[in-house]
Amino acid sequence: MLFSDYNVNIIFEDGVLTAFIKGEVDHHNAVAARRRIDRELEEKRPHELVLDLGGVNFMDSSGLGLILGRYSKASELGIAFAVCNPTPATMKILSLAGGERIIKIISDEVK
């Protein structure tokens, strides 16, 4: 079994859990990111989960699955959810699935 060295940095501050996702979000890396974020979510029980996608330089439908999956997981736990700083390429994938209509999208300028 090969394990990914995929990097997700997590900050927990004022009840907000922010996961900074970096690099290429494909199926291989999404599996590792999902495990990491879900563990923190269960442990910290924040009132809001923010996925910061500013450092993402590749994303396909597996990344979309990661985002929509964290959205459902947060909703189940009664946790607010937002996506932050998506690149134009990430937005292209998100909007194909109508994701921008159900998910709150913020950028650092307005945060």
Partner 1 sequence: MSKTELINELKLAFPSYSVNEGGARAMVSAFCASLNPTVDELSDIRCAVSEAVTNSIVHGYRNTIGTIFIMVRLYSDRTVKIEIKDKGCGISDIEQALQPLFTTDPAGERSGMGFTVMENFTDSVVVRSAPGKGTKVTLKKKLSKLTQNR
Where does this chain bind partner 1 (CB under 8 A)?
Answer: 2, 4, 24, 26-28, 30-31, 34, 58-62, 64-66, 68-69, 89, 93, 96-97
Query: Which residue, 7 or 62, has its beta carbon nearer to ligand ATP?
Result: 62
Task: Pick out residues in 43-102 that bind ligand ATP (CB under 6 A).
Answer: 61-62, 65
Query: Which residue, 33 or 79, has its beta carbon nearer to ligand ATP?
Result: 33
Q: Which residues have C-beta within 8 Å of that of residue 71, sequence separation ≥ 6?
A: 81, 102, 103
Q: Residue 28 Cβ, how far from ligand ATP at the closest point, in Å?
A: 13
Q: Which residue from 95, 4, 16 is spatially nearest to 48, judged by alpha carbons?
A: 16
Q: Residue 111 Cβ, how far from partner 1 at the closest point, in Å?
A: 27
Q: Please say whether the dihedral angle defined by the alpha carbons of residues 77, 45, 85 and 28, taken in this order, is positive or negative.
A: negative
Q: In what order do the strands lie in the sheet with 80-84?
A: 8-13, 16-25, 48-59, 80-84, 104-106
Q: Residue 21 Cβ, how far from ligand ATP at the closest point, in Å?
A: 17
Residue with nearest beta carbon to ligand ATP: 61
The secondary structure element, H or E, covering residue 32 is helix 27-44
